[in-house]
Copies of this chain bind each other. A is one copy, B any other.
Amino acid sequence: MSQDWQRLNDEVTALIKEARANVLEKMSDPLTVNEKTNRKDLVTNVDKSNEQFLIAGIRRIDPTAHILGEEGFGDDLKSLDGRVWIVDPIDGTMNFVKQRDNFAIMIGIYQDGEGQLGYIDDVMNDVLYYGGPQLGGVWANDERLSAPANLALADGLIGASGPLVIHDVAQMHKIIHVSAGMRVYGSAGIEMINIMRGKTLGYISHLKPWDIAAGQILLNTLGVRVSAIDGKPLNMLSSNLVLVATEKAQRDILQIEEDDVSL
């Protein structure tokens, strides 16, 4: 790894720690909560202020950065050329609002479309997950993570988003039936952490780029597959129906999807 990437990592780590402290401080005041597209799609004053804080920090670290942010304070990106930072200031905003727990701050750094460094901060547990090809591994604070076991779908739990389960999108019911069971945690970041920790073997959800940018980098580094539900690469400039899974479980799930199409 180059010294440049190491220095970049040090700077991003420091930035996220500062962002976390700001978020915790703001949580002691009442939140201002607004609806975005509907009453289950929320944004708070903390999402907004934290995105502004992170973007200002990124521009100091990397003045030529292209930045894609959930709350729209970044750039209007048309391509992934150059160095692109993808920012989710509060992932799991509903959990943040209703639980004051189980949410994350996330940043993914891409270079010409290739993931380089990813960061998921589990704010309430005070654990920063970070790593990527430029660091040659993934860490949880000071602990280096080993790759999760390559479980078949039948041998583990699968995370899912509630609406996909209720509407049985993409054969969710069959996938859950084959698995050992489903879990719903309400935050893509928390789901990614559970997969890194081997607590679930995968996750299926409709996601925006900022929901999956960091997780894709971290999980790929640990040998976990991240793709669209048809196995193809994600489009990091739009929404995707995302399938995250161990290699074996990905194969099992893609087979279920294929059987569906052939009916």
* Contact B157–A99 (Cβ < 8 Å): yes
Interface majority SS (helix, strand, loop, mixed), chain A: mixed
* Contact A94–B157 (Cβ < 8 Å): yes
Task: Please state the number of chain copies in the assembly.
Answer: 2
Name A199's contact: one of B98, B180, B181, B182 (CB within 8 Å): B98
* Contact B156–A182 (Cβ < 8 Å): no
A40, A162, A173, A194 interface centre (most CB from chain B within 10 Å): A162
* Contact A101–B199 (Cβ < 8 Å): yes
Whether a CB of chain B sits under 8 angstroms from the CB of A131 is no
Contacts of A200 in B (CB 8 A): 99
Q: How far is the CB of A39 from chain B (nearest CB, A)?
A: 8
A204 to B240 alpha-carbon distance, docked (Å): 31
A94, A102, A165 interface centre (most CB from chain B within 10 Å): A165
A165 to B40 alpha-carbon distance, docked (Å): 18
Name A176's contact: one of B162, B182, B194 (CB within 8 Å): B162
A39, A180, A194 interface centre (most CB from chain B within 10 Å): A180
Interface size, chain A (Cβ < 8 Å):
25
Known: A99-B199, A199-B98. A182 touches B162 (CB 8 A): yes
* Contact B99–A181 (Cβ < 8 Å): no
Q: How far is the CB of A43 from chain B (nearest CB, A)?
A: 15
A39 to B180 alpha-carbon distance, docked (Å): 8
A164-203 Cβ-contact flags toward B at 8 Å (1 or 0) = 0110000001001000111111100000001000011000
In the complex, chain A residues 79-94 whose Cβ is within 8 Å of any chain B Cβ? 94
A176 to B180 alpha-carbon distance, docked (Å): 23
A32-76 Cβ-contact flags toward B at 8 Å (1 or 0) = 000000011000000000000000000000000000000000000
A46 to B193 alpha-carbon distance, docked (Å): 27
6 A–B contacts from the bound complex (CB under 8 Å): A40-B180, A98-B156, A99-B157, A101-B199, A166-B173, A183-B185
Interface set of A (CB-CB < 8 Å, partner B): 39-40, 94-95, 98-99, 101-102, 156-157, 162, 165-166, 173, 176, 180-186, 194, 199-200
